[in-house]
């Protein structure tokens, strides 16, 4: 009967699969909104007769390899020096602070209005640094660049006049990628992010739905930040949090994909996973914090509430994908399962793999490449679809952990540590730490080991499927899944081992520094 444990498990499995499919379908709605509204471009309502005063904030933490580059690029911005202020907000705990301080002193000696602000603690992490800098800022508008960005010289001149409209509270530009073609991993990340900036941001912003500031490469009206409650650090995505609070106050955001600021992509898997973990966890923290108020709001239209729901909760797909993957074997292959001998079970099995694979890749990402780089690039992006699928599935456990941590942190009211993404200055080489550190630990290895175990699990499903002739047409998808888990898991273990070796070698070469 339907209430027996196996039937309940099958119903749970099908319900979970439907939820994953729903979020996948939402991507196609974004594509539709993009096509419908892509010609609704923004134009400045006027031009400032006298350029307003602007403060550029450069938040940093142990950014030794990129600090000099971002400071130099910021000082080269085309903006009157008497209307410009540059703040280097450095929370570094290593020699990076000396590098940034020296560069600031050199540029200040040449006449640039640049200040080095160093905090002795990291209270609030990046949000705390931005808030502390804001208390000393003199600008009417606040520009933010992360340390790995290189702002184009004319960016401020192109953006500032959009604020002649008093309703505009923030202007965001598209991210470009300095090391797009460095490896298969960076090319895949670029495709992921291009779809976000080309399709998602454009669709949301130009259709009148809420979008968000991406933490960098954007300009804020200072009064907007204050009116929305300022920078808050109870989530790891202070940018997403402030964006929604500002738009709920009625401020208008402007997204300008025709302008771009290039930055580097994480060239190795550990940095990529750390970044994805922080974004995923912070996004769900923001959903827990703000979504109830958004849904209860009486002045927000349904289209904004619906998009906010999918936008803020889309990371829940990762634990759902993990659940579906784990249940795949018992649901379809256990002897007692009602799906084992059902004539239509092979179709459900194939649909499972199709939904899990195509809802996170395919049309959405390929279309983003076509719109950004042209029709030929769109077709070439099809070659990357198998790896897009594999990487998306392989990252599901890492990101599922982030969602669960966000939920557990909300229950326990426990703050989260902000783990910065390692910068490499595009060269692919980072400076080895001079302190002994245990990298190759069980806590760091637990998720990679689980990812490898999932790869083995999917390999078993491939063997069973071929041996029993069950859902043979879906074996290519199983191969992609297994490859994704193996790639992410084994690559993570290798990178952690290499990091441990580099740390030990650095200590051996400079023991007197390491002991201080």
Q: Active-site positions?
A: 91, 239
297 vs 44: CA distance, rounded Å: 30
- What value, to the nearest 5°, has the Cα angle with vertex 391 and ends 385 and 395? 150
Which element (helix H / strand E) includes 181? none
Dist CA 210 CA 203 (whole Å): 10
End-to-end CA distance of the chain, in Å?
69
Any alpha helices (H) in 335-474, and if so which ranges? 345-358, 363-373, 375-381, 385-394, 396-412, 442-468
**Could you tell me if 247 and 210 are in contact, meaning their C-beta atoms sit under 8 angstroms apart?**
yes
* Nearest residue to 301 via CA among 396, 208, 405, 415: 208
Distance CA 255, CA 45 (A): 15
Query: Is 474 in a helix, a strand, or coil?
Result: helix
Query: Residue 340 has which token pair?
Result: 């084992």
Q: Is 40 left (phi over 0), alpha (psi -120 to 50) or beta?
A: beta
What is the Cα–Cα distance from 210 to 29, expressed in whole angstroms? 15
Chain-centre distance of CA 482, in angstroms?
24
User: Strand 252-263 relative to strand 114-118: parallel, antiparallel, unpaired?
Assistant: unpaired
CB 155 within 8 A of CB 259: yes
Q: Residues 71, 104: contact at Cβ < 8 Å?
A: yes
């Amino acid at each position: 009967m339907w209430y027996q444990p196996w039937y309940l498990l099958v119903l749970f499995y099908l319900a979970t699969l439907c939820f994953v499919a729903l979020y996948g379908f939402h991507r196609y709605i974004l594509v539709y909104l993009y096509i419908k509204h892509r010609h609704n471009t923004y134009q400045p309502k006027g031009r400032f007769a006298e350029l307003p005063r602007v403060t550029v904030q450069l938040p940093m933490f142990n950014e030794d390899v990129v600090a000099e580059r971002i400071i130099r690029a910021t000082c080269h911005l085309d903006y009157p020096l008497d209307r410009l202020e540059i703040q280097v907000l450095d929370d570094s705990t290593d020699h990076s602070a000396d590098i940034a301080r020296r560069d600031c002193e050199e540029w200040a000696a040449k006449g640039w209005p640049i200040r080095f602000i160093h905090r002795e603690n990291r209270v609030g992490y990046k949000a705390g640094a931005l808030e502390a800098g804001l208390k000393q800022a003199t600008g009417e508008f606040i520009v933010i660049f992360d340390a790995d960005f290189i702002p184009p010289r004319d960016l401020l001149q192109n953006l500032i006049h959009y604020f002649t409209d008093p309703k505009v509270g923030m202007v965001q530009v598209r991210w470009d990628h300095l090391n797009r073609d460095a490896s298969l991993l960076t090319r895949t990340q670029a495709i992921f992010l291009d779809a976000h900036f080309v399709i998602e941001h454009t669709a949301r912003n130009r259709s009148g739905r809420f979008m968000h500031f991406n933490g960098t490469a954007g300009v804020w009206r200072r009064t907007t930040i204050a009116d929305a409650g300022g920078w808050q650090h109870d989530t790891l995505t202070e940018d997403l949090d402030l964006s929604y609070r500002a738009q709920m106050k009625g401020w208008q955001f402007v997204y300008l994909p025709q302008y771009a600021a290039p930055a580097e992509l994480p060239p190795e898997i550990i940095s990529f996973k750390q970044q994805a973990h922080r974004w995923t966890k912070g996004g769900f923290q923001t959903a827990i914090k703000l979504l109830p108020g958004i849904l209860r709001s009486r002045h927000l239209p349904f289209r904004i509430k619906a998009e906010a729901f999918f936008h803020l909760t889309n990371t829940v797909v990762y634990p759902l994908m993990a659940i579906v993957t784990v249940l795949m074997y018992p649901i379809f292959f256990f002897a007692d399962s009602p799906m084992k001998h059902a004539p239509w079970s092979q179709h459900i099995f194939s649909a499972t793999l199709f939904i899990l694979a195509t809802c996170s890749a395919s049309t959405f990402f390929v279309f983003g490449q076509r719109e950004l780089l042209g029709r030929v690039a769109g077709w070439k992006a099809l070659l990357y679809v198998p790896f897009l699928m594999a990487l998306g599935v392989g990252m599901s456990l890492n990101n599922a952990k982030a969602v669960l941590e966000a939920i557990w942190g909300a229950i326990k009211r426990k703050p989260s540590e902000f783990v910065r993404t390692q910068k490499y200055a595009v060269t692919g080489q980072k400076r080895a730490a001079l302190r002994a550190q245990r990298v190759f630990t069980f806590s760091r290895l637990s998720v990679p080991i689980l990812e490898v175990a999932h790869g083995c699990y999917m390999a078993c499903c491939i063997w069973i499927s071929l041996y029993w002739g069950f859902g043979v047409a879906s074996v290519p998808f199983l191969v992609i899944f297994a490859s994704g888990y193996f790639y992410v898991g084994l690559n993570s273990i290798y990178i952690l081992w290499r990091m441990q070796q580099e740390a030990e070698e650095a200590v051996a070469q400079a023991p007197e520094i390491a002991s201080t």
